[in-house]
Structure 1
Amino acid sequence: MNDRTIYTINARGNMFLEVTKEYFSLDDEVMHSEINGMFNELIKILNSKGINYKSLKSCLTPKYDRKEIGLIFDSSKIESNWYGYEVFEKLIPLFNKDSSHSILCGDYIGDNELQNELFFRFYSQIKQTNEFKYQHSTQFFIVYINNLSENMFNKLISDLTDYQPFIGFFDLTNQSFMKSYLSTILANSFIKNNRTIILEHEDDRDNSENVNLISYPFEKSGYEVKSLQGIYYGVFLSYKIEREVFEGFESDTDFSLNSISPIVSKIKEIEIEENKFEYLKTVKKGKLKKANLIAYSKKELTQLIQKKIKSNYIYNMTDLKTHNIFKFDILIELLNTMDEIVKITIGFEYKSENGKLRLITLY
């Protein structure tokens, strides 16, 4: 049996798995089989379109050393009602042809009682590039892009500065109110995987077809469009902007764990073996020093990780069948004594029978 890794599962913004489990009263063992059956089908579909699932890792999982941006466009400065098309007509040619990203977008929406808060938060985080007049939150169209190098990040801003509807950006690399809020309102639009654009199409359309349902001018810039049914795209190819696990969204973690284990237990305890702790204090000394953790005792480090474990979603869910080990990664942020944000990726073994996590690595 081959080892397998599922980079991400979206049960946070996609209700398919939760509805299926509740409607048919399925237990964890059956759901494990169903999730993996869907994943097997996804791999077949991608392979039939010449897409290697492994090539999507960089745009489906968060990276401690990559940047994220929210490009802000004032739709009141665009004459067309289809301002999304106008924005992407300008933006698509600016992408590096050999890079991979998940792109989400949407209006800066919010109920009337939130408008004062949204106004304040907007001005507190925007890096302005062009003049604009704030009238209502919904006038702003935001495009989120992940997996950017420092150079890509700066070049996008520079290339868009002369485009008057582009009024600024949010640096979404680190946790903030804006990053968390946008994670609740932006929708997955497409994946740019080098010179291929991956989109979803209707569930009643055959997966042998490739359709550009959103009609953005990808082909005009030399990209090839591939599409698949939304049921597969939504669960396995939808990037989740990082945020803490809000009450009511815990099932996202449960389904992610269920993808690698037929038994799902709530995470109760973090385990760091003595030899592993000594390894971290020596081999990973530089990372611990940078994060101001070098003086932590094993108990203190365990307590910190326990506290941070709910600060984000899990990814890289791996079933090491040859060793009968289930493992996954999580990315946490820490503020050191120099007020620098340090990101640490931690790999855990998941012991599903008792809800224990054994720390495997940290970097």
Structure 2
Amino acid sequence: MDHAEITPIELLKQPFVIHSINTYTSIFVEVMAASLDLTDDQVQLLLRAMHRQATAVLKSKGVEYTDLKPALTPRSNRYEAAYIFDSSKATSWSYGSEFAMAWLPALRAAGGPTRTAILEGDIIGLPSPTIWQILDRQLVRPSGQEVPRLSSEQYYVVYFTNVSKAQLTALDQEIRSNSPAYLGFVDCSAWTPLKTSLPLPQVALRVDNKIITAEDDDGHANLRAYPFEDFKFDVVGVNEDLYSTLLDFRIDMGVPQWGASDSATALGVLSGTMRDIASMTLEISETRFDYLTSEEPGRGHGASIRKAGLAAFDRHELAAAIKKELDKSLLFNLRSVEGSKKVNGESVPAPENDALLFTVQVEFPDLDGVRQRYQVGIKYDATAHQGEVTTMFG
């Protein structure tokens, strides 16, 4: 069934997986809702239709939407990293293009991430002395290399998602060999104040040999005119509105009102009613608590619960601790799953077991005080505006 043949009712009944919806930095949905006076359920339909359209457009150009998940969602065993340049050392005003000639070869090298979101831009919004303090503490650089004291906006950032530990170093070494303006990188996987200064526009998504960029109304992709083809990439363009809403990675800048609006949209896509995550109640049933805290091999998430320092909590205390982190988190991996059950040993449909699910990344300090990341799965009851913790691992 193609896009033109499905009715709104049929579309909303279909199971789906949406890796990420960006209303955190993209205003497209907000503008559409305000200008057309859309109700919550109409916004839900709009976003479900946009997701279906984006999936179809990508497929027609040789990209499976499912393959974008590693680039668009945080992963507890992968890194987000900000590679930082001194733009005062650029030889032209087009320093973004100049620095691209340092990171593009690194991206193409054997050590580069094959599925990643790439964002770039100047550091803005924090006083220069604050940036100096952050970089002094967090910038990974050669021993003895001093951080130059620049104005904030003279630090230029190229940000990659879904980077392995080995790739962190490989990218660093390759970029350093290509540009004297390169300073080093900051691990942005867990919360760092640096993120508050990174409202970075996304340049592209890389999926294997394809580079996915926004395209304008005339169908022109790669609007920054970077030489992706010179590095053996095929450029794929997607309409700007679809791209900014469904294919943009969200760097969590820690702006509460942005996060509240973003979570309300995400829960609205699941339920048809826009209510933010802070107003959602959270519970852990006794059965689920036993599963979460079990350290039996092959069962449960007890090792993660213990590492997070939560092993002594009862189920109510554990739910409260997770809820406190949830209220600050962005929602990913939104999905509607059709229920099933076993009858005479065979799996049959069971609508009573249908589920709405999403995932958030939360952080807790380990026993040494180092903040660690965990992926928490939530089952959402839209009628009660209530969540139940299903998994927690990291």
* Distance (whole Å) between structure 1 residues aligned to residue 240 and residue 329 of structure 2: 25
Shift of 1:174: 1.4
Whether the 8 Å CA contact 2:125–2:196 is kept in 1: the answer is no
Number of the residue aligned with 1:122: 135
1:219 pairs with one of 220, 229, 234: 229
Shift of 1:242: 3.2
Could you report, residue by residue, the CA deviation over 1:206-229 in whole angstroms, capped at 9, with x for unpaired residues?
Answer: 4xxx63221111111111111111
> 1:285-300 maps to which residues of 2 (within 5 A)?
285-300=302-317
Number of the residue aligned with 2:17: 5
Aligned CA distance change for structure 1 residues 62 and 295 (closer, same or farther; 3 Å): same
Whether the 8 Å CA contact 2:123–2:197 is kept in 1: the answer is no
Whether the 8 Å CA contact 1:121–1:178 is kept in 2: the answer is yes
Whether the 8 Å CA contact 1:291–1:335 is kept in 2: the answer is yes
Number of the residue aligned with 1:21: 33
Whether the 8 Å CA contact 1:196–1:225 is kept in 2: the answer is yes
- The alignment status of 1:263 with 2:266, answered yes or no, reads no
Q: CA RMSD in A?
A: 1.9
Shift of 1:46: 0.6
What amino acid is aligned across from residue 295 of structure 1 in structure 2? Answer: A
Whether the 8 Å CA contact 1:68–1:145 is kept in 2: the answer is yes
* Distance (whole Å) between structure 2 residues aligned to residue 181 and residue 109 of structure 1: 5
Whether the 8 Å CA contact 2:360–2:377 is kept in 1: the answer is yes
| Residue aligned with 1:250, SS | helix
- The alignment status of 1:147 with 2:147, answered yes or no, reads no
Aligned CA distance change for structure 1 residues 98 and 142 (closer, same or farther; 3 Å): closer
Aligned CA distance change for structure 1 residues 232 and 157 (closer, same or farther; 3 Å): same
Whether the 8 Å CA contact 2:113–2:167 is kept in 1: the answer is no
Number of the residue aligned with 2:204: 190
Shift of 1:93: 1.4
- The alignment status of 1:200 with 2:210, answered yes or no, reads no
Number of the residue aligned with 1:306: 323
Shift of 1:123: 3.0
Mean CA deviation greater in 66-75 or 339-348: 339-348
Number of the residue aligned with 2:192: 176
1:345 pairs with one of 357, 375, 385: 375
Number of the residue aligned with 1:69: 81
Aligned CA distance change for structure 1 residues 133 and 281 (closer, same or farther; 3 Å): closer
| Residue aligned with 1:153, SS | helix
TM-score by length of 1: 0.92
Whether the 8 Å CA contact 2:41–2:272 is kept in 1: the answer is yes
Number of the residue aligned with 2:260: 250
* Distance (whole Å) between structure 2 residues aligned to residue 309 and residue 49 of structure 1: 36
- The alignment status of 1:326 with 2:383, answered yes or no, reads no
| Residue aligned with 2:150, SS | coil
Shift of 1:50: 0.8
Mean CA deviation greater in 172-181 or 326-335: 172-181
Mean CA deviation greater in 114-123 or 252-261: 114-123
* Distance (whole Å) between structure 2 residues aligned to residue 337 and residue 324 of structure 1: 38
Aligned length: 355
* Distance (whole Å) between structure 1 residues aligned to residue 133 and residue 372 of structure 2: 27
Number of the residue aligned with 2:4: none
Gaps of 5+ in 1: none
Gaps of 5+ in 2: 1-12, 295-299, 340-352
* Distance (whole Å) between structure 1 residues aligned to residue 333 and residue 258 of structure 2: 23
Aligned CA distance change for structure 1 residues 247 and 213 (closer, same or farther; 3 Å): closer
- The alignment status of 1:138 with 2:153, answered yes or no, reads yes
Shift of 1:32: 0.9
| Residue aligned with 1:259, SS | helix
Could you report, residue by residue, the CA deviation over 1:69-128 in whole angstroms, capped at 9, with x for unpaired residues?
Answer: 1111111112121111111112111124671110111012237xx333333333333233
Whether the 8 Å CA contact 1:28–1:263 is kept in 2: the answer is yes
* Distance (whole Å) between structure 1 residues aligned to residue 377 and residue 98 of structure 2: 42
- The alignment status of 1:89 with 2:119, answered yes or no, reads no
What amino acid is aligned across from residue 218 of structure 1 in structure 2? Answer: F
Aligned CA distance change for structure 1 residues 347 and 2 (closer, same or farther; 3 Å): same
Whether the 8 Å CA contact 2:283–2:316 is kept in 1: the answer is no
| Residue aligned with 2:34, SS | helix
What amino acid is aligned across from residue 302 of structure 2 in structure 1? Answer: K
Identity level (%) = 26
* Distance (whole Å) between structure 1 residues aligned to residue 337 and residue 147 of structure 2: 53
TM-score by length of 2: 0.85
Whether the 8 Å CA contact 1:349–1:358 is kept in 2: the answer is yes
